[in-house]
Amino acid sequence: MNHAQTLQAGIAEMGLAISSSEQEKLLAYIGLLKKWNKTYNLTALRDESQMVSHHLLDSLTLLPYVAGAQTMLDVGSGGGQPGIPTAICRPDLQITLLDANTKKTSFLQQAAIELELKNVRVVSGRVEAVSDMQADVITSRAFAELADFVGWTAQLLKPDGYWAAMKGVYPHEEIARLPQNITVEKVDTLHVPQLNAERHMVILRQTAAQAV
């Protein structure tokens, strides 16, 4: 199978509705990632078929969890996962990509321009650099321990918003260390086609009485 077929088969297996033009953009994003990776070291993966499973299909597991959202913040976006694949498939969702590494944010900015992602804003810096928004959902992929993730970003979440943290193995210990005002709504085991590794989605909310 070529990369387009691998992607198409993976999307079908995940039961997602993603148009052929969106699939072309997803592959174009991988092309950009591969091109810039030589200089900017955005990902440890060099193999394009691995990028399809690890970067595209893995990121697309987020889509069902942002179905009702209008604004999203992707913290520690790195090479753009899950923010850019999500932006491609949800052009109506306003997405802010945040990373402290200026090389990575340069790439994100260029990718947003080349892929014509008008719904993407790139911010370079730490969480404090995004003081002008409150998001419906804040996500990250393997960015930080859960307690740190919610502690650093709580002020950027709408009162009725939630966190969608993408994790590998089930984060029992991290969940145990969460502050008392954070509720674990659910932890879902995810299946990512062609990816032989554990993946979990952790949905967290602030307890109503404590919400700021």
What residue numbers does the annotated binding site cover?
A: 76, 81, 127-128, 141
* Contact present, 137 and 75 (Cβ < 8 Å): no
Compute CA 67 distance to the chain's CA centroid, rounded to the nearest angstrom.
Answer: 14
- Furthest CA-CA distance within the chain: 52
Q: 4 is written with which tokens?
A: 């387009």
Taking the C-alpha atoms of residue 175 and residue 93, their distance in angstroms, rounded to an integer, is: 28
- 193 CB-side CA count, 13 A: 17
Q: Which residues define the annotated binding site for S-adenosyl-L-methionine?
A: 76, 81, 127-128, 141
**196 in helix, strand or coil?**
coil
